[in-house]
Chain A
Amino acid sequence: MSTLSSQVSAGFDVEKIREDFPVLKQTIHGRPLVYLDSAATAQKPFAVIDAIRRFHEVDCANIHRGVHELSQRSTAAYEETRAKAKRFLNSRSKNELIFVGGTTEGINLVASAWGRTNVKAGDEIVISAMEHHSNIVPWQMLCEEKGAKLRVIPMNDRGELLMEEYEKLLNPRTRMVAVAHVSNALGTINPVRQIIEMAHRAGALTLIDGAQAVPHIKVDVQALDADFYTFSGHKLVGPTGIGILYGKSKLLDEMPPYQGGGDMILTVTFEKTTYNDVPYKFEAGTPNIAGGIGLGAAFDYVTHIGIEQIAAYEHDLLVYGTEALSQIPGLRLIGTAREKASVLSFVIEGIHPHDIGTVLDKQGIAVRTGHHCAQPVMDWFNVPATTRASLAFYNTTAEIDALVAGLKKVKEIFS
């Protein structure tokens, strides 16, 4: 294990990176904080915290509508994030990128604005067995409203989608295939490029929930040929309440607005309103300006470290963690896909995840326990809940060792 430990640290200065995250420098119940809940939300570096503070201290004004200096500054900073998102995701144009509150809003926007005009009775929407509730419920609501049918790609007991079953689900009635790039409960990296290609062959569109992918692997929306791709800023070391929805220009142009209000219009009279161009057509009202600017700083920060370097380091950390946890008697990993990112979800025989979570917390270790907003996944694996340790590039092998020691303590108490 020590060889692996030194391999993990080779060429990636995690101690230097940890200096950028003030929250990590604290003790919880007298023990150093071990934060293993980044799949819920990632911690924020000074660069992001400072950008938000600077906006409020120096540039604060509303955007897109003032001629004064502060408004121009804040508009420029906010719109600069769209340009950064274009580079980060490699979209063709920054006008394909819509600011949303987060992944959930991104999915709801498409299910609502695209779905209401393109889905009719008898049509089919395909999702997968490992979706987060946010990529299930909006489609269920749409299907209910339209009389359409929701179909589900099954998975195997490693937590991998059954592609041959997916193939069988596709037919001329399939309108949309909506799947997670990376599963939040299992860590599975789905073969989205193949999923998209198969959907397109069947004449269907695709929406990829990138919430758990964007912080951990390089995402190129053009290479994937995704029709829609959405993610939240806060899992990418950015602030909460801001995210991005990517959509192909042609689709966005054809879609009706999502919400009505200021900024999404060109002219308004009581008789008729002319809508603004994309992406503004989908951005009604004063947005989360500070959040957008903070997200821009997050793109810069992650780009500076390098998403490929992050992916490589986290992969080594995941391998180390998988091996370490596998040695604990009675522990079963939930989600053992061959392609995985960031997530170590597990159960321990005879000990409820909530008890594990509380005892770990007392040792300064933050993990998530529960169904992770993926109840169908829990049902499939026949567990009420799991304990989930999720990794980020600021975590260390020493923290995984602390988790293992913490779990030994858990077993002492409940055995």
Chain B
Amino acid sequence: MVHDLYQETILDHSKRPRNCHTMDDANRKAEGYNPLCGDKLKLFLKVENDVVKDVSFVGSGCAISTASASLMTESLKGKTRDEALKLLDKFHELLTTDTAVSQDLGKLVVFCGVRDYPARVKCATLAWHTLKSALTNVTDPATTE
């Protein structure tokens, strides 16, 4: 059923996204764009001593992409750059492979239903693609293509 995809946590975060604001004192920013559906996202990070102190986003997108950005910001705070990038890899694995769900993902496991909707994987990964360019200092907007 469709509720496998739109789990309660996802609906909650899509309707009331957390950390959804701009950040004046951010020291890393990146923009993400999904040309397939027009979703746009701006990500703001405050990284100090290699640790993500604060993170926020603004943008427009579907329930999956908004909830993904919201839950991502929650799970990043306090992580080192390497830990953040490792989490990205695990999240991507969750969406695109049939392997067992990693315990390290925490709340992010609610996105496991997305793997059954290949057309929606890019919605869930937009925020994470954007995170990667913010952390690796790429200045071009990240795209899901």
Contact = CB atoms under 8 A, between A and B. Distances in A.
On whether the two chains bind one another, the answer is: yes
B142 interface: no
Contact of B38 (A351, A358, A385, A413): A385
B110 interface: no
9 contacts: A354-B64, A354-B120, A358-B2, A358-B5, A358-B119, A370-B36, A370-B38, A375-B38, A414-B11
Interface residues of B, number: 21
Nearest to A378: B38
A369 B37 contact: yes
Contacts of B61: 352
Interface residues on A, range: 10 to 19
Contacts of B15: 414
Contacts of A385: 37-38
Given A354-B120, A355-B62, A414-B63, A362 B2 contact: yes
A351 B37 CA distance: 13
Nearest to B66: A352
Interface in A301-358: 351-355, 358
B38 A355 contact: no
Contacts of B2: 358-359, 362, 413
Interface of B: 1-2, 5-6, 11, 14-15, 36-40, 60-64, 117, 119-120, 123
A225 B17 CA distance: 55
* Most chain A beta-carbon contacts within 10 A, residue among B5, B36, B38, B61: B38
A358 B37 contact: no
B36 to A, nearest CB: 7
- Chain B interface mostly helix, strand, loop or mixed? mixed
A355 B37 contact: no
A369 B36 CA distance: 10
A262 interface: no
A384 B39 contact: yes
A352 B66 CA distance: 10
A371 interface: yes
B130 to A, nearest CB: 16
A386 to B, nearest CB: 10
| Shortest 3 CB-CB contacts between residues of A and residues of B | A384-B38, A352-B62, A354-B62
A37 B103 CA distance: 41
Contacts of B60: 384
A192 B72 CA distance: 51
Contacts of B14: 414
A137 to B, nearest CB: 14
Given A354-B37, A354-B120, A370-B38, A413 B62 contact: no
Contacts of A353: 37, 62
Contacts of A375: 38
Nearest to A371: B38
A413 B11 contact: yes
B90 to A, nearest CB: 24
